Amino acid sequence: MLKWKLMLNSFPIALGIVGMKFVLVEFLNFWGWVELGDVVLVVSAGVFLIGFMLTGTLADYKESERIPGEIASTLESIEETCLNLAEKVSYSKDTVLQYCQQMAVCIDKWFLKKVSDEEMFASLQNFNTLLNDLDKQGATPPVLARVFNELALLRRILTRTCVISRTGFLATGYALLEVLLVVISATMLIVRFKNLVAMGLVVFFIVLVYVYMYRLIRDIDDPFEYVEGKENITEVALFPLHEYIERLSKRINV
């Protein structure tokens, strides 16, 4: 039923406009001033604007879909390289796994808004303590440098995630879309129809489509707007990160 949530939330607005239209016709005997064909350009203009806004937000959304997988693979690569170094210098593997778990869990909590940006980036900085310990134990410098590079890559990915999450797409475009939504809804109230059935269906469908698309664009504009305990089908799935944390937990408990 998650896929219908946005649609069901848009129903009340569309039904409200239809209800206002019926009140004008039945109680005030106001059938309208213009024909539907006279305002078709206004309705069509909204289609182009919605297409433009949707294309822009989908570009960031498609990029965001790759981010959880990239984070999980980078974390696992860091873990494997550090374990290899720990084995060569006789360093505790459990300590390595605990450092990796602490960083991965902190990133997961950050996605769920349980920790701040500063705390999340601090967990990455704290991981340098492990790398410094491995360096003191005589870890191979080229391999250790590779871990630092992987950590820098992880930081870049997370910084990009922050930018996508906190930056809305073209606020001026949203302003125009909101004005157009109000204009179209008001226009539906002054359009004249031949019978009540056609009036109800056309007004309901047009308003529903515009309200639904506006809410959809708003929703996918931030693909990382997670709320713990609530599923949202428009948010990017975090299962690659969660599955990595589960694998890591099993290795720790062995």
- In this structure, of 54-63, 125-134, 147-156, 220-229, the range with the lowest mean pLDDT score is 220-229
In tens, the pLDDT along 184-212 reads 999 888 888 888 888 899 899 999 999 99
Within 10 Å of residue 177's Cβ, how many Cβ atoms? 21
Q: pLDDT at position 55, please?
A: 87
Measured CA to CA, the distance from residue 210 to residue 166 in angstroms comes to 25
Count of positions (residues) in the chain? 254
Nearest to 117 by CA among 88, 76, 156, 158: 158
Residue listed under structure tokens 């064909």:
37
- Residues 177 and 183 sit within 8 Å (Cβ to Cβ): no
Q: pLDDT at position 230, please?
A: 66
In tens, the pLDDT along 68-98 reads 999 999 999 999 999 999 999 989 999 999 9
Within 10 Å of residue 241's Cβ, how many Cβ atoms? 22
Q: pLDDT at position 153, please?
A: 95
Measured CA to CA, the distance from residue 77 to residue 146 in angstroms comes to 10
- Residues 69 and 240 sit within 8 Å (Cβ to Cβ): yes
- Residues 236 and 64 sit within 8 Å (Cβ to Cβ): yes
- Judged against a pLDDT cut of 90, whether residue 37 lies above it is answered with no
Question: pLDDT class for 229, splitting at 50, 70, 90?
Answer: low
Q: Which residues pair with 227 in a beta bridge?
A: 230
- In this structure, of 59-63, 132-136, 224-228, 243-247, the range with the lowest mean pLDDT score is 224-228
Whole-prediction pTM value? Answer: 0.83
Kindly state the percentage of the chain with pLDDT values over 90. 46
Q: pLDDT at position 231, please?
A: 64
